[in-house]
Amino acid sequence: MLYRTQVTQIGEFATESLNENMIIIFNDNAPKDVADYCFIHPDAELNGEILVGGQFLLGAISYPITAVGCVVSHNLDALGHITIRFDGASEAEYPGTVHVNGTCPKALEIGTEIIFTSNH
């Protein structure tokens, strides 16, 4: 397991991102204006690097990672802040984006686990 945390707060506008097939996460040190758009979680330690071929688990659903932006691991470790896009893209759209294959959930609840695992 590379990273494990859970949703503890849902920003006022965070669920709007689900309509665009993505979620934005940030640890609980997020600036207020940014936190409004994020699913907030406690800070957690990243134990390795997020890579293509790994898995993103959101609650009980596992999504294969298809692309990883160049600053994802750094941003996740330092800020707990990345975007996860549910579009199966093979190249990262932005440096802080992880792309996964699968259907974006329609809603997220407080307590939903967020886990990244490696491909070993």
Active site residues: 41
Of 100, 81, 66, give the one whose Cα is nearest residue 34. 81
And the tokens for 103?
Answer: 């259907």
Q: How many CA atoms lie within 13 A of 27 on its CB side?
A: 15
Pair 101, 88: CB distance under 8 Å: yes
Pair 72, 51: CB distance under 8 Å: no
And the tokens for 68?
Answer: 């990883």
- Using DSSP's 3-state secondary structure scheme, residue 78 falls into helix
Helix extents (H) in the chain = 32-35, 72-79
